[in-house]
Structure 1
Amino acid sequence: MNYGKLVFCVAILNKLLCSLAETATSYAPWRPQSGVCATAIDNFLIKPRPIQHVYGAQHPPFDPLLHGTLKPGAKPPTTPVKLKKVSTFQEFESNTSDAWDAGDDDDELLAMATESLNTDVVMETANRVIQNHSKLQEQHKLQEEHVERQQAQQPSDLPSASGDNRLVKSVSESNASTSTESANENASMPRSQSLPQTSTVTMVGGVVEHNTSGLPIISEREASRLDKFRQLLAGPNTNLEELRKLSWSGIPKPVRPITWKLLSGYLPANVDRRQGTLQRKRKEYFAFVEQYYDSRNEETHQDTYRQIHIDIPRMSPEALILQPKVTEIFERILFIWAIRHPASGYVQGINDLVTPFFVVFTCEYTEEEVENFDVSSLPTEVLQNIEADSFWCMSKLLDGIQDNYTFAQPGIQKKVKMLEELVSRIDEQVHRHLEQHEVKYLQFAFRWMNNLLMREVPLRCTIRLWDTYQSEPEGFSHFHLYVCAAFLVRWKKEILEEKDFQELLIFLQNLPTMHWGNEEISVLLAEAYRLKFAFADAPNHYKR
């Protein structure tokens, strides 16, 4: 067949295909609404693939070698690939092979090969994701207010006539996660003692169905995520890299204690070695207590112990810290750490870093909210386990940021300077405004670095933040810098409205985050990851 006949055949075939598509589309209005026929016609019709929006940050991109974007043995390109300017999200999607696929799991949405992406495209896309999230959040708030008004009109003490008691389904992952954790904690985590069963259900903002026992039925997505964690943790050797990827977008409460212990390096990946490691490390800690704790009254250590004793009641949450048993535990942990780390000793700020570990590990033994729980009601052996585990995990964390607490705190000084340089690059308007009103970054950001934002956000948000920090390489030091930058720029509107040094500084030291939850933290982490993606490898994005 010569070339002319081949062209003619292709043209005829193309015309037939177009006619077929038009005929199928024309029958769409009259297709059946349900049943096998409807499904068949739906599969036959040519429809664009729906785009799923991303409402929070997921784990970082996978290695291109693992996703087939590079052949084994091939080297990544040394120079960035020049892409044509992208004006729409659809064009961006067409240039990437695995972003926002409707069939992908939510935890694998950011699996993109970094060498094939344009920085402008990444920044533009992330901005749109965050903007879309903000719009939807406003809609959700209106829906919640409507539901609250309806509930207020109905008598709360009367049982439902139908027995199918429905609330409004949560759009917030934090609330849905809380319901998930309450329903599954008994089945997933062994208890050291019998615990009373709670029948209360946390009120959330969307429809949560209840079974006959009064426990909420968890969402399919939360059940799937919890199942993935359980499968990963049940193996003879836990794949820590996979566990980090899965943990980046948050860890379900039932498996958070064991996951934190693994990610912090406290427990080994091998399941058979874990129990022996726990027993050995707990015994080792209380040997330190026996050896060192009585020296707190000696002249050389009196100042250290006195400062610890003064700082603990100032911590948050007060209802937990002011319990005598908790105060005693925190004093021992902090004093033993200070004695064993003479290069830094005890520095104000270290005391805050115990709380998240203590709260998470206490949740392993109770279903109640720890902030309102009487810790002294737990058996002595359980309290000792929580204390020792908290000490070792806090020590692992501080090993990576100890220069924050040595003489003159050079680590914090350096990080605050890096934050200033980074903000000047990502939002010059905010940076200039602070400079114009003579507000120094050290005046507000020192505490951000010293306390890892624990004084700026509620404890529940800190725990969610640490899920990601522990799954990030150098999360508490390097990635924390980008979180602080995103956190500062998050308040751009309010910062620019302040025209006075005193008012500006008061605002930055008392940011309105009291009602923050997982949604706000997820958006913050998304923005922080976007900044890291765009600036971490740029040689001049901040001065060292």
Structure 2
Amino acid sequence: MSSDGNKKQFWKRNTAKVPGNIQHVYGAQHPPFDPLLHANLMKAGNKPPSASTPGKPKKATTFQEFESITSDAWDVGDDDDELLAMAAQNLNIEVVMETANKVIENHSKLQERRQQEMEKTTEPDEKYGEEVEEEEEEPEEEEEREEVVETTDVSFSTDPLPLGDSRLVKSHSEAPIGSPKEVGIEQAALHRQQSLPHRPVIPLVARMADQNTSGTPAMTEREASRLDKFRQVLAGPNTDLEELRKLSWSGIPRQVRPITWKLLSGYLPANAERRESTLQRKRQEYFGFIEQYYDSRNDEHHQDTYRQIHIDIPRTNPLIPLFQQASVQEIFERILFIWAIRHPASGYVQGINDLVTPFFVVYVFEYIEEEVENFNVSSLQEEVLRNIEADSFWCMSKLLDGIQDNYTFAQPGIQRKVKALEELVSRIDETVHRQMQLYEVEYLQFAFRWMNNLLMRELPLRCTIRLWDTYQAEPEGFSRFHLYVCAAFLVRWRKEILEEKDFQGLMILLQNLPTMHWGNEEVSVLLAEAYRLKFAFADAPNHYKR
């Protein structure tokens, strides 16, 4: 089969047509791929077609052509009282660069230690690989090994991929046909994978104590010191927002994240005396919108909008029980519908539903101490739930005000950012860029989702919350800085990208990057690398222009 045919089959399997009046988000999948949760993707029945020699298929030369061949992956079937504007303050370059370099240095040392440990533990595995090659001449044993491979979708469903493993685990019927020696090598790799110690299941929202997002674990001396610094800044009659941004760039402690996010987003004023009256006024204003507009969801000209929201809400973080509660879904429906009808230039676009979740989770944490994943929100007082809903609406609105051109007709903001990402990557890692060109992978085919959903479908929610700490602290974090985060994120998978040898392999990798076990450390390194790119290119845009 030709390469062109492979691509068409790939897109046909991974997309589904939706009605023309529904706006699209491309290649939607959430949360990030994990064999523990997506074992069905590894069964032989879902195997991709085998690749042949790359040809020269017709490229999508316009956004409209791209949209016509790439539809949504979800098959749906049959401010007047603005707060004082916050001036965009540049961060202290020396402070952030020192922090970035320190993070990268510590990460490198940790990686070296892990590598040394891995070398020690893989010596017996390498010996096993040699034994497999020596025994491959015996037909009966080869048949036994084939049977083991064919059942990998079962064995791997209970043993998640280790951090850094970027490839989908394939059953024997999916593996490329090669020499017996190649099969033996794959068997050795399979044995090493199965012999790894089982990794504990990590909550999707909180990752043990180091995330400061779940429960009240004992804090380290450093964490206690950082929390004290935040409280000192927040305790004054007028919060120094510049100082608060500097502290927040490296992450915000769970205990003060709600008030910090509200301040940095511009929802609350810096003056402490005005905060309570502002909260009361804005919350009343939001529920005034509910009384005025929400009943119109059944009107003919709003039915399509409400119907799409109603369909998308159950698919928002489907693996986190919190978001499957009826009361939570009703809150999300109200927030999204009110926002959509108050912003007719864009209306509701699939993907905006994801942007509510970090705010909602953070503002729930303001009232509880336990883990949030399985928390029953009905145990909260009605007034508390109303406060969480209104605060989430206003903060999401503030975020979207800065990136609304991402969601207007033809989504021009996203198109510009994807093009800028391509130009930037071509400068910072020409080898990766050439790999994309070699197998004719268009950046729009994978990075559209990165821009549309702010990487929320590529990272666990706990990582998104940590990422947004920095986005809130960074001037134009959700618009400009996000570009550099995406570039650093792509280059992070350089080794895995260069190992792929065809179009569909690259696309499967880029749409299922193995980040399920990421935590603070990985996000901190990603942000440090992104800041280095911004420092090098943001003030000299000609550096990445052709």
User: Counterpart of 2:299?
Assistant: 298
Contact 2:215–2:370, Cα closer than 8 Å, also in 1: no
Deviation at 1:265, TM superposition (A): 0.2
Q: Which stretch of the first structure deviates more once superposed, 375-384 or 127-136?
A: 127-136
C-alpha distance 61-342 of structure 1, shift in aligned 2 (>3 A) = closer
Question: What amino acid does structure 2 have at the position aligned with 1:512?
Answer: P
Unaligned runs of 5+ in 1: 1-58, 64-98, 100-107, 113-121, 144-172, 184-200, 202-215
Comparing 528-537 with 399-408, greater Cα deviation is found at 528-537
Q: 2:97 aligns with which of 110, 113, 121?
A: 110
RMSD of equivalent CA atoms: 2.5
Q: Matches of 1:310 and 1:456 in 2, distance apart? A: 21
Q: How does 1:131-146 map to 2 (within 5 A)?
A: 131-136=108-113
Aligned match of 1:460: 462
Q: How far 1:541 sits from its partner (Å)?
A: 2.5
Q: Which residue of 2 aligns with 1:231?
A: 232
Q: Residues 341 and 325 from structure 1, CA distance in 2 versus in 1: closer, same or farther, beyond 3 angstroms? A: same
Higher relative CO (Cα under 8 Å, sequence separation at least 6) belongs to 2
1:24-423 aligned within 5 A: 62=92, 108=95, 110=97, 130-136=107-113, 175-178=208-211, 182-183=215-216, 216=218, 218-318=219-319, 319-423=321-425
**C-alpha separation between the residues in 2 aligned to 1:178 and 1:522?**
12
Q: Deviations over 1:237-264 (max 9, x none)?
A: 0000000000000000000000000000
- Aligned CA distance change for structure 1 residues 532 and 109 (closer, same or farther; 3 Å): closer
Query: Counterparts in 2 of 1:4-23, with a 5 A limit?
Result: none
Task: Work out the CA distance in 1 between the residues paired with 2:359 and 2:118.
Answer: 32
Contact 2:293 2:338 in 1 (8 A): yes
Q: Equivalences for 1:422-437 in 2 at 5 Å?
A: 422-437=424-439
CA contact (8 A) 2:104 2:528 kept: no
TM-score w.r.t. length of structure 1: 0.65
The more displaced of 127-136 and 472-481 is 127-136
CA–CA separation in structure 1 for the residues paired with 2:529 and 2:391: 32
CA apart distance, 1:537: 1.4
Distance across 2 between alignment mates of 1:280 and 1:126: 42
Quote how far apart the aligned CAs of 1:132 are: 3.1
Shift of 1:110: 3.2
Distance in 2 between residues matched to 1:293 and 1:511, nearest whole Å: 39
Unaligned runs of 5+ in 2: 1-88, 121-205
Instruction: Tell me the distance in 2 between the aligned counterparts of 1:532 and 1:249.
Output: 16
**Matched-pair contact (CA < 8 Å) for 2:207–2:214:** no
CA distance, structure 2, for counterparts of residue 321 and residue 340 of structure 1: 24
Code of the aligned partner of 2:108 = Q
Check conservation: 1:415, 1:481, Cα contact below 8 A. Answer: yes
User: CA offsets per residue over residues 499-525 of structure 1, 9 Å max, x none?
Assistant: 011111011001000000000000000
Who is 1:105 aligned against?
Answer: none
Residue 31 of structure 1: aligned partner: none
Task: Tell me if the contact between 2:212 and 2:254 (Cα under 8 Å) persists in the aligned partners.
Answer: no
Deviation at 1:179, TM superposition (A): 6.2
**Residues 10-61 of structure 1, C-alpha deviation per residue, up to 9 Å, x if partnerless?**
xxxxxxxxxxxxxxxxxxxxxxxxxxxxxxxxxxxxxxxxxxxxxxxxx986
**Structure 2 CA distance for aligned equivalents of residues 372 and 247 of structure 1:** 28
Show CA shifts across 1:106-149 (max 9, x none). Answer: xx46369xxxxxxxxx99x9875653343256579999xxxxxx
Q: CA deviation at 1:175?
A: 4.6
CA distance in structure 1 between the aligned counterparts of 2:103 and 2:98, rounded to whole angstroms? 14
Q: Compared with structure 1, are the counterparts of its residues 386 and 180 closer, same or farther at alpha carbon in structure 2 (3 Å cutoff)?
A: closer
Q: Secondary structure at the match of 2:300?
A: coil
2:486 equivalent to 1:484: yes
How far does the alpha carbon of each residue in 1:151-179 deviate from its partner, in whole angstroms, 9 at most, with x for none?
A: xxxxxxxxxxxxxxxxxxxxxx9754446
1:205 aligns with none
Distance 1:328 1:141, change over 3 A: farther
TM-score (norm 2): 0.65
Q: Please report how far the alpha carbon of residue 313 of structure 1 lies from its aligned counterpart in structure 2 after TM superposition.
A: 1.0
Structure number with larger C-alpha Rg? 1
CA distance in 2 between partners of 1:373 and 1:419 (Å): 39
Deviation at 1:539, TM superposition (A): 3.5
Structure 1 position 370, deviation (Å)? 1.4
Cα distance per residue 1:386-422 (max 9 Å; x no partner): 0000000000000000000000000000000000000
Q: Is the 8 A contact 1:60 1:111 kept in 2?
A: no
Q: 1:537 to 1:514 in 2, by over 3 A?
A: same
**How far apart are the structure 2 equivalents of 1:109 and 1:480?**
17
Question: 1: CA distance between counterparts of 2:389 and 2:213?
Answer: 27
- 1:542 is displaced (CA, Å) by 2.9
Change (3 A) 1:525 1:136: farther
Q: What's the offset of the Cα at 1:182? A: 4.2
Secondary structure in 2 matching 1:289: helix
Q: C-alpha separation between the residues in 2 aligned to 1:342 and 1:537?
A: 34
Which deviations, in whole Å up to 9, do the C-alpha atoms of 1:280-311 show, x marking residues without a partner? 00000000000000000000000000000011
Distance 1:227 1:258 in 2: 15
Give the Cα separation in 2 of the matches to 1:133 and 1:425: 28
For the 8 Å contact 2:265–2:472, the answer to whether it is kept is: yes
Q: Give, in whole Å, the separation in 1 of the partners of 2:296 and 2:408.
A: 22
Question: Which moves more between the two structures, 448-457 or 375-384?
Answer: 375-384
State whether residues 309 and 336 of structure 2, in contact with CA within 8 Å, keep that contact through their aligned partners in structure 1: yes
Contact 1:60 / 1:110 at 8 angstroms: preserved in 2? no
Alignment coverage as a number of residue pairs: 372
| Match for residue 441 of structure 2 among 435, 439, 442 | 439
The structure 2 residue matched to 1:471, chosen from 470, 473, 482, is 473
- 2:155 is matched with none
For residue 219 of structure 1, report the CA deviation from its aligned partner. Answer: 1.2
Letter in 2 for 1:62: N
1:535 deviation in Å? 1.1
